[in-house]
Chain A
């Protein structure tokens, strides 16, 4: 008996299930339509985002323009504030760069021995070893301060009037790094008193070196400088102080030099020693 295939001819030979007469093209078209629908959705979202963002940009720009206009209206106040800060900084710098002469003299009077009388005292602030004159100090100090970037005060252009201030720096007459020196000359009762004076002068606050220039005892009585008679050796010595601090050091310091000077109450006895020494 011969076998007989009951399956219809168009559905034989491994044709896929569901392919139908289109051979599966219908599924491809359906898939294509699905993808295009997703694309349309994404396109719509993007368009909506663009329109909303564009509106937001317009709002933000309007707000920014209004704020800028307000800032421009108040710009003179900002310029004035800048001018004020720069002026304060410049004065601060000058105040901090000063040497505390009062404190130095107080210290000198405190440590000077009774066996010593001063005939002259000269103090200068020099840029180097301390032997320069005050007039030279001014020029040297100016150039030094100009070259010191840390101490310079930059003035930016501000309002119409402040704009004329341009970029400047403040040069102190006693710029940071300057070395104060005192030169003392006087009369002592003995060479031992001169040695004691050298030792005592090293106790002065802020002194870096004390050097003896001369100590000469003449056979006869010599002049004390202003009519007085010096029976002991006549001496000359130099006191070198620490260099003046830089702007950064002074700003970081919590105790200003002027305050330290005013905080110290000089004793009544010691300064009279120095005053008496000059007699």
Chain B
């Protein structure tokens, strides 16, 4: 064996040792380090997500009183029950203020309607309640009454919805002149027949979803035992 052969053998052996050290020790460790680095990134992302959830939850908690008040207010526009008495009172108050006589109310959309007052719409979140109202008054007074009915639930200039009564959607209006009973000549009064729809929340939903003024349902607070939703007042400020 010459000296050159010895050198080649030594170099090859050295290379083998280096390769073995890389493959058996260093590479797995580096791979593991990289894997742990990825796990750190994942854990960091999870923490960020959880912290953002906490922030959102705290924000929701801070805004709870306002949201509760707003939801109760919306319950005036769309109550849980039919609340026909309060609807009648609201219309009576509105018509009295506009010098209009509130003659009649018929549930179910008037002529040809079904016996049920509630027309359940299969795909609807709110249940529709069709009504037919009959008013008597001058054209100008009826026009003001329409304005008043619209203002029960009104979008303000700021974009928010202001609720002071039941949300009604008028679908049809018929105005006909009233004949004077004695002479048969027109009395100047009109009979306004209005076909309108009120809305009711689904039976599965309460006005506030079971929340109380202090905490929502399921919140771990001292008042969590109170889970019944407050009843919507039967009579509310219909015409402020």
Q: With a 10 A CB-CB cut-off, give which of B18, B25, B58, B197 has the most chain A CB atoms.
A: B197
Q: Contacts A80-B60, A106-B143: A28 and B14 contacting too (C-beta < 8 A)?
A: yes
Which residues on the B side are within 8 Å of A279 (C-beta)?
177, 186-188
Q: Is B81 an interface residue (CB 8 A)?
A: no
Q: Is B96 an interface residue (CB 8 A)?
A: no
Q: Contacts A102-B147, A173-B169: A29 and B10 contacting too (C-beta < 8 A)?
A: yes
Q: How far is the CA of A119 from the CA of B175 in the complex (A)?
A: 9
Asked whether, in the complex, the Cβ of B177 is within 8 Å of the Cβ of A226, the reply is yes
What is the size category of the interface that chain B forms with chain A? 35 or more
Q: Is A215 an interface residue (CB 8 A)?
A: no
Q: How far is the CA of A87 from the CA of B119 in the complex (A)?
A: 20
A residues sitting closer than 8 Å to B (CB atoms) are 15, 19, 23-25, 28-29, 31-32, 35-36, 39, 42-43, 46-47, 49-50, 53-54, 56-57, 60-61, 63-64, 67-68, 70-71, 73-81, 83-84, 87-88, 90-92, 94-102, 105-106, 109, 118-125, 133-135, 137-139, 142-143, 145-146, 153, 155, 158-162, 164-166, 168-174, 224-228, 256, 258-259, 261-262, 266, 268, 271-272, 274-276, 278-279
B residues sitting closer than 8 Å to A (CB atoms) are 3-4, 6-7, 10-11, 14, 17-18, 21-22, 25-26, 29-30, 32-33, 36-37, 39-40, 43-44, 46-47, 50-51, 53-54, 56-58, 60-61, 63-64, 67-68, 70-71, 74, 77-78, 109-110, 112-113, 119, 121-126, 128, 130, 138-140, 142-144, 146-147, 150-151, 153-157, 161, 163, 167, 169-180, 183-188, 190, 195-197, 199, 202, 204-206, 208-211, 215-220, 227
A-B contact pairs, 29 of them (CB 8 A): A54-B36, A73-B219, A75-B57, A78-B53, A78-B56, A81-B60, A81-B63, A84-B67, A87-B78, A95-B161, A98-B150, A98-B170, A102-B146, A102-B150, A120-B176, A120-B177, A124-B171, A142-B123, A142-B124, A161-B205, A164-B205, A165-B125, A165-B205, A171-B121, A171-B125, A259-B155, A261-B150, A276-B188, A279-B187
